[in-house]
Amino acid sequence: MGFCQPKKCLILFLAMLPVMCKADDEPGCSGLNGKYYRTGDIMPTTHPCETDCICNGHDEVKCNVSVCAMLQCANPIHIEGKCCPVCGCEQSGLIYNPGDAMKSANNCEMNCICGDAGQRVCAMMACPQCEHPIQKDGECCPQCICKDNGQIYNAGKTEQKQVVLIHLPDLKTNN
């Protein structure tokens, strides 16, 4: 087995620095940026599906490879830096990643996002509870009305009524 000789380097001053080098017959692996790894060393990888890469010697690297689950969605998306695809959401010809904000499909939905399973998830507008609701076309919530002596009034609005006051003279009682 060969040994390396220390090399002199100029780093603001002269110093003897050990240099890791490889003899031609020494088992090991060349990794990222030309870095040398010995047999048994764990090596970094740039592939998102490879994990726990180990140098087996003579530039042979063994990595565990992730297995992706089969997706049950119409719009699988590959996200840069991720191994496995995810389910995206499609709306009006646009594809959204999980977690992305999406436009509401109608005026009843608010704060819509693309869910993990490729479905649009929205909070629904809270509608008031009322005794006599009237649902109008194109409106999310029913309109609440009030009834008084056969008259219909919109809830929440002030209506004026004419009231006739009759003044009765003071009645004196005889004791």
* Whether residues 34 and 49 fall in one domain: yes
| Residue 165 is assigned to a structural domain of this protein | no
Q: What is the pLDDT of residue 62?
A: 92
* Whether residues 120 and 131 fall in one domain: no
SS3 annotation, the chain: CCCCCCEEEECCCEEEECCCCCCCCCCEEECHHHCEEECCCEECCCCCCEEEEEEEECCEEEEEECCCCCCCCCCEECCCCCCCCEECEEECCEEECCCCEECCCCCCEEEEEECCECCEEEEECCCCCCCCEECCCCCCCCEEEEEECCEEEECCCCCCCCCCCCCCCCCCCCC
Q: What is the pLDDT of residue 54?
A: 92
| Residue 140 is assigned to a structural domain of this protein | yes
| Residue 33 is assigned to a structural domain of this protein | yes
| Residue 2 is assigned to a structural domain of this protein | no
| Residue 164 is assigned to a structural domain of this protein | no
| Residue 168 is assigned to a structural domain of this protein | no
Q: What is the pLDDT of residue 132?
A: 79
Give the pTM: 0.47
* Whether residues 117 and 147 fall in one domain: no
| Pairwise CA distance, residues 140 & 127, whole Å | 8
The answer to whether 130 and 145 have CB atoms below 8 angstroms apart is yes
- Domain span including residue 85: 76-124
Instruction: Please list, residue by residue across 45-71, b when 16 or more beta carbons sit within 10 angstroms of its beta carbon and e when fewer do.
Output: eeeeebeebbbeeeeebeeeeeeeeeb
Assign 155 a pLDDT band (cuts: 50, 70, 90).
low
| Residue 173 is assigned to a structural domain of this protein | no
Given a cut of 80, whether residue 14 has pLDDT beyond it is no
Domain boundary among 65, 84, 110: 65
User: What tens digit of pLDDT does each residue of 19-51 get?
Assistant: 445 555 678 888 877 888 899 999 988 889 998
Given a cut of 80, whether residue 99 has pLDDT beyond it is yes
Based on its alpha-carbon atoms, the radius of gyration of the chain, rounded to whole angstroms, reads: 38
* Whether residues 46 and 86 fall in one domain: no
* Whether residues 87 and 52 fall in one domain: no
| Pairwise CA distance, residues 50 & 109, whole Å | 41
* Average confidence (pLDDT) over 122-127: 86
* Whether residues 101 and 148 fall in one domain: no
| Pairwise CA distance, residues 54 & 38, whole Å | 9
Q: Pick the residue with more confidence: 107 or 89?
A: 89
Given a cut of 60, whether residue 175 has pLDDT beyond it is no
Amino acid identity, position 12: L
Looking at every residue in the chain, the average pLDDT score rounds to 76
| Residue 31 is assigned to a structural domain of this protein | yes
Count of domains in the chain? 3
* Whether residues 56 and 17 fall in one domain: yes
Q: What is the pLDDT of residue 113?
A: 94
